Amino acid sequence: MWALMHFIDNKNSLLETMKWNLIFLAWVIGICTLGLPQAHYLSRWSVLCSCILLGIALLIGYAKQYFLQLKNSQILLHLLIALAVFFAAVSFADHQLQQRLSLRQAQVHQAEVVVYVDRMSVLNKDNKQQILQVWDTSHQQMVHWLARIPAKQPELQLGQYYRLTGQVRPAHGYAIKGGFDQEKWFLQQNLMASFQVKQFELLNKPQALTASSTSFIQLHRGFLQASRLWIEQKRLNCRNWLMQSPLRHRGLLLALLTGDESLLDDITQQQFQNLGIQHLLAISGPHVLVFAMLLCFVLHHLIARFCPELYLRIPKQLLLSLPFLIGIWVYCGFVGFEIPALRTLLMSSLIVLAMWCQRRLSVFTTLLASAALMLLFDPFSMLSVGFWLSYGACFILLRVYQTVQQQPQQVLLGHFQQCRYYLRLLFESQGKIFIALLPLVMLFFQQLSWLAPLANIIAIPLIGVVIVPLNILATCVWLLSPSLALPLYHVADAAISILLVSLGTLQSAIPVEVQQLHFTPLQIAALTLAIVMMFLPKGTVPKAWLVLGCLPVVLPVHETQSFEFNVLDVGQGQAIHIRDQNKQILIDTGGTRDEQKFSLADRVLLPYFSSRGISSLDQVILSHLDQDHSGAFPRLNEKMPVKQLLSSQRPQGNLPSFDYCHAGQRWVSKNIEMQVLSPQEDDLVNAEYQQNELSCVIYLSYRYQQAKAHFLIMGDAGIQTEQFLLQQYPNLAVDVLVLGHHGSRFSSSPEFLQRLKPKIAIASAGLHNRYGHPSREVKQRLQQAQIPLLNTAEQGSLYFTVTDEGSLNYVVARNARLWLHP
């Protein structure tokens, strides 16, 4: 706090501003190392490094003041301080991470827990999700769990204690490049486990005290807790009232008011996503500022009417700044303190503080300072996409606004000229924002709607100027009298109807589908550099350099490794991606029980290929048509071009060029030779009845100069097929064996393992799967044969490469971040 006051109270010289910008930036960069294994090792020495650097900085400052006039000593001093702050941030972030990781649940088990309900639920089709305060008896402290409650069960009441019985499950998602990181999301949300509720019992305070602890009960006393609970109850009451109201677009009204999408229908969500305006559903700065400005507007008129002399004592801006901040605080609480709203709160607080101290802050410094403060209060915010989108979009909007302001002012005589001028500014600014936000869209969403600029031109004025103010005003009236608020909600509802009709007309007039983007991080970085150059002031760099920045985006992706063999983490299933130069092969796709509800293609495979810059597949081989091997193929085939498909059975639907896989088939490309070892062509007639045993068994050989490696992929084949392979191919060399049937005890016989003697065996399985794969028997056989076992359930995706010298290397996906470690 002292540092913040000193920052506000300084004279804001150029050098002083640079110093604080460096300090804030160093803190943000240091926090961004959170979760990196290298940062964890560095954190052991970071406090010492920070102290040493600060000591050196003090010595330089002392020597400069009393003895020496060191050239550029001031800049050196600032750099040393910034470096010390960076090390301090690394240590702080790692300490916070280790504390949070120590509270996570590690095993699936049945439990009976005492909980306190302080947040409303999120409604889904099948269940209700609710974040609960749980008394963790093993750590003797309060933690948060995400409870999943069956839709038929009644709502857990706010402010009440319950005894819940159910199944505890640790956070565990798919560890794969480009995919959604569930562990990271749980960590960022401060959730230590998920909990499937089976039974619950309401407890009074004495019962809760007996079943938990005095410290747990005391957490829920006090003014702040009571205020938060009151706000949460009002949010719930508002949702329940809107749910029962005759309003047509009640779901969108609620989403635009509080960010709660519980009542939002799938059609509207899909429409906003297809048009690239889903960001408008998030509570952002304008929502918060509208409420604060309405509050100040009312207060101003009350003061002007009843106590105008107050403005003679205190300037109007200073007097209204405090209620302005209070309004922002209240609305942030009403929307659940989401990151975009918190960013507005922090920036507004800094601006008000500077105004009271009679100091000026640059916009860039304010933005950096608010980001540093947010990461000081909650370092896990940097794990949220919302943090980067909020601050990135805010910086871009400010920069676009500056470029518009720098344009020469025009003398506008008539209303028609003014209208044309502001329309041109609107179109121009939206075009610039669309271009500037491209890297963030490519990085986080991997898809793009070309209608987004036009849709934003329609939606932003309607939502920002009409719908949101009416919505907030109606809610303020609703707090006093719901019947009086209904007409205002009807007007907002009518405005939403106009919005949706306009957006529907735009979609019909220009039927452009959402485009899937396939760019590597390096390509996105190059495009970002080109866009930064484009927005630099004229004359800073030659505009021709933009072409150089855009070249990596349009040129083919060049991989440093000529060959990759990647066993992807798809849960209880199998998917293997093979790349030879620019040839892309996928063996199996994995699949969930219900691909309509959770599409593995949309959530895992397509994001993975997009992050690798892969837009099409040359060959897909489905070992057989079990759901866990082929379930994701129909959706993958719909969204991504596939040149050739092979399988032991013919799938239904529209297919690319298809052929049955059988022994004797062989393909040779630049560095690899791939052949099918089983089943026999004559046996394919029985594939429908013997799907597992007649799986396509693929043998892959890689050769480059002196390097060679051999991979055997067994599908779901069992011991019978293994015996056939040993007879037909007695000298089969295998370095990597993908175990048959995910490591089932009916596969991977002792003789098969002893004869092949692979260097590594892989089980592609899901964590805590109901089949117990890989089985205890197979683990024992591998141990007896001294064959190391890798399991995607524990290690995540496995990325194999072969060096020019012939060494087989692999990277474990769960080693990339500390929170992914098993």
What's the pLDDT score for residue 786? 94
Tokens 């899937």 belong to 516
**Over 90: is that where the pLDDT of 517 sits?**
no
Which residues neighbour 325 within 8 Å (Cβ) at sequence distance 6 or greater? 292, 345, 348, 349, 352
Contact predicate 591/573, CB 8 Å: yes
Peptide bond preceding 774: is omega within 30 degrees of 0, i.e. cis? yes
126 versus 650: the higher-pLDDT residue is 650
On whether the 563-820 domain is CATH 3.20.20.150, my answer is no
**Over 70: is that where the pLDDT of 4 sits?**
no
Please write the tens of the pLDDT for every residue from 417-469.
Answer: 777 777 777 777 777 778 888 888 888 888 888 888 888 888 888 998 899 99
Compute the Cα dihedral for 429, 435, 439, 440 and give only its sign.
positive
- Around Cβ 104, how many Cβ atoms within 10 Å? 16
Cα 661 from Cα 286, distance rounded (Å): 58
Q: Mean pLDDT throughout 155-174?
A: 93
**Over 80: is that where the pLDDT of 416 sits?**
no
Which residues neighbour 288 within 8 Å (Cβ) at sequence distance 6 or greater? 328, 331, 332, 335, 341, 344, 345
Domain topology for 109-206: OB fold (Dihydrolipoamide Acetyltransferase, E2P) (2.40.50)
**Over 80: is that where the pLDDT of 187 sits?**
yes
Please write the tens of the pLDDT for every residue from 315-344.
Answer: 888 888 888 999 998 888 888 888 888 888
What's the pLDDT score for residue 72? 55
Q: Give, in degrees to the nearest 5, the angle at Cα 175 between 438 and 741.
A: 135
Question: What is the pLDDT of the chain when averaged over all its residues?
Answer: 87
Q: Give, in degrees to the nearest 5, the angle at Cα 166 between 160 and 171.
A: 100
Determine if the pTM surpasses 0.85.
yes
Q: Mean pLDDT throughout 709-728?
A: 94
Q: Mean pLDDT throughout 755-772?
A: 93
Please write the tens of the pLDDT for every residue from 200-225.
Answer: 999 999 999 888 888 899 988 888 88
Cβ-in-10-Å burial (0-12, 13-18, 19+) of 479 comes to exposed
Q: What is the DSSP letter of 462?
A: I
**Over 50: is that where the pLDDT of 1 sits?**
no
> Domain residue spans in the chain?
2-101, 109-206, 243-516, 521-554, 563-820
Give Cα 325 distance to the centre of its chain. 30
Contact predicate 115/207, CB 8 Å: no
Report how far apart the first and last C-alpha atoms of the chain are (Å, whole number).
38
Cβ-in-10-Å burial (0-12, 13-18, 19+) of 535 comes to middle
Peptide bond preceding 439: is omega within 30 degrees of 0, i.e. cis? no
Q: Which helix (H) or strand (E) holds 707?
A: strand 707-713
Q: Mean pLDDT throughout 255-268?
A: 89
**Over 90: is that where the pLDDT of 411 sits?**
no
Which of 232-241, 404-413, 428-437, 699-708 shows the lowest mean pLDDT across its residues? 404-413
332 versus 285: the higher-pLDDT residue is 332
Among residues of the chain, what percentage have pLDDT more than 70? Answer: 91
What's the pLDDT score for residue 69? 52
Which of 128-137, 347-356, 517-526 shows the lowest mean pLDDT across its residues? 517-526
Q: What is the DSSP letter of 573?
A: S
At 63, is the pLDDT very low, low, confident or very high (cuts 50, 70, 90)?
Answer: low
Q: Mean pLDDT throughout 39-46?
A: 74
Compute the Cα dihedral for 698, 704, 708, 709 and give only its sign.
negative
Please write the tens of the pLDDT for every residue from 341-361.
Answer: 888 889 988 988 888 887 777
**Edge-first strand listing for the sheet containing 707-713:** 666-668, 672-678, 697-704, 707-713, 736-738, 760-763, 789-791
Give Cα 749 distance to the centre of its chain. 42
**Over 60: is that where the pLDDT of 638 sits?**
yes
**Over 80: is that where the pLDDT of 123 sits?**
yes
Cα 79 from Cα 83, distance rounded (Å): 6
Q: Which helix (H) or strand (E) holds 297?
A: helix 285-306
